[in-house]
Structure 1
Amino acid sequence: MSNLLYVTCNVRPLEQSRTLTLGNEFLKEYQRWNPQDEIEIIDLYRDSIQRVDQDLLNAWERTEHGEAYVPFSDEERRKMSRIWRLAEQFARCDKLIFVTHSLNLWFPAEFKMYIDTICVLGRTYCLTPHGAEKTVPDRHRKSLHLHADQPFSFGHEPHQSVPYLRSMLNFFGVIDQQTVLLEGDMLQQGTDEAYETARHRVLKIAHRF
């Protein structure tokens, strides 16, 4: 049995989002082929994600300097417990699904907040003389990123979302990565042919994911 983590970051309702619609189809097809697997779902617009604030920075700074024995305040411990829970959830899951869209060449802020909660000193990485190194156990992990770029350009500037997530997953040892791209998340954006091509690929991936 595998553990699958399904993360969405989209404020639109399902019926108005092409990525959420495809992600939902993937999930249903995956469950049909893997009924025994455990699936955990995070909606970054619905679920409470702890943002980095002064309490967290104070706690992280003490941990980074080897002062973890100094007791956290009640507020620091409450906030650290929230990010520890998300970091440990990410670390234990074998399969990762991210359903996202671009906003001004990047992810919405809620997705960056989530990345900050799983990249946690002492939980998913440690500091060495050579820099940061992951502490997630080595094992075969895989990911699927279903993502919609905005359907217009910002001059000649490239969208940054996909390469950023790919880099973070590489750091955590998730080498088996697949990406399915759409041009625009709204129903009227992109062509029907491109959408059906993406849909066919997503359902095909679900069979063997």
Structure 2
Amino acid sequence: MSKVLYITANPKEVEQSFSLQAGREFINVYKENNPNDEIIEIDLYKENIPLIDPDVFKGWGKLQSGKGFEELTDAEKTQVGRINELTEQFMEADKYIFVTPLWNLSMPPMMKAYIDTFLIAGKTFKYTEKGPVGLLENKKAVHIQAAGGVYSEGPAKDAEHGNSYMKTVLNFIGVTDVESILIEGTAIPVPGPEEIKAKASERVKEVVKNF
């Protein structure tokens, strides 16, 4: 049995979002194919996702200096403790499904904040004399991203920093089995939403088979 994290970062309703609709189709098909797996859904716009702020840095600094967790202030305990919970949850999972829109050439800020909770030196990667090394092995990930334009090819290709960043982050921590489902051109009149959704559905069914 695998533990799967289904992580979404979009404040819209499912019916209003190309990425969330594709994500919901993916997770429904996955459940049918893997009924015994544990699936944990994380809506980043409804969860407490701490930012790396002064309390976090102060708390981390105290812990690194040898102080115990009980010596942190209440604010530091709250922030650092929640980040630790999210880090451990991420490390314990076997598979990850990330669902995001492409906003302003990147990803929603809540996804970046969430990434900051699991990109932790000494836990998901380590520094060595030969450079950083990922510590998470034998895990899989899928990133579902919808964009108003076309960024996988053409003149705007180098401007895309959503899916490219996600793959870089995951590879950095050792998750090298990463598939992308890119839903592009949602703001372009042609070919239109129905054809775009149909194409996305085909890609979902293709990827979910081996996930």
- Please say if residues 86 and 117 of structure 1, whose CA atoms lie closer than 8 Å, have aligned partners that are also in contact: yes
CA distance in 2, matches of 1:186, 1:9: 19
Q: Give the equivalent residue in structure 1 for 2:202.
A: 200
1:184 Cα shift? Answer: 5.0
Say which SS state the counterpart of residue 208 (structure 1) adopts.
coil
- The answer for unaligned runs of 5 or more in structure 2 is none
Say which SS state the counterpart of residue 199 (structure 1) adopts.
helix
- Please say if residues 16 and 186 of structure 1, whose CA atoms lie closer than 8 Å, have aligned partners that are also in contact: no
- The answer for unaligned runs of 5 or more in structure 1 is none
Equivalent residue letter for 2:149: P
Say which SS state the counterpart of residue 81 (structure 1) adopts.
helix
CA distance in 2, matches of 1:119, 1:6: 18
Question: TM-score under structure 2 normalisation?
Answer: 0.86
- Please say if residues 149 and 159 of structure 1, whose CA atoms lie closer than 8 Å, have aligned partners that are also in contact: no
Q: Give the equivalent residue in structure 2 for 1:6.
A: 6
What is the percent sequence identity of the aligned residues?
35
Of the two structures, which has the highest relative contact order with CA contacts closer than 8 Å and spacing of 6 or more? Answer: 1
CA distance in 2, matches of 1:93, 1:190: 38
CA distance in 1, matches of 2:76, 2:106: 30
**1:11-26 map, 5 Å:** 11-26=11-26
Q: Give the equivalent residue in structure 2 for 1:84.
A: 84
Deviations 1:86-129 (A, max 9, x none): 11111111111001011111111111110111112343234444
Structure 1 59/121 Cα, relative in aligned 2: closer, same or farther at 3 Å?
farther
User: When the two structures are aligned, how many residues end up with a matched partner?
Assistant: 204
1:18 Cα shift? Answer: 1.2
Equivalent residue letter for 1:27: I
Q: Give the equivalent residue in structure 1 for 2:75.
A: 75
Q: Give the equivalent residue in structure 2 for 1:29.
A: 29
Question: TM-score under structure 1 normalisation?
Answer: 0.87
CA distance in 1, matches of 2:191, 2:41: 27
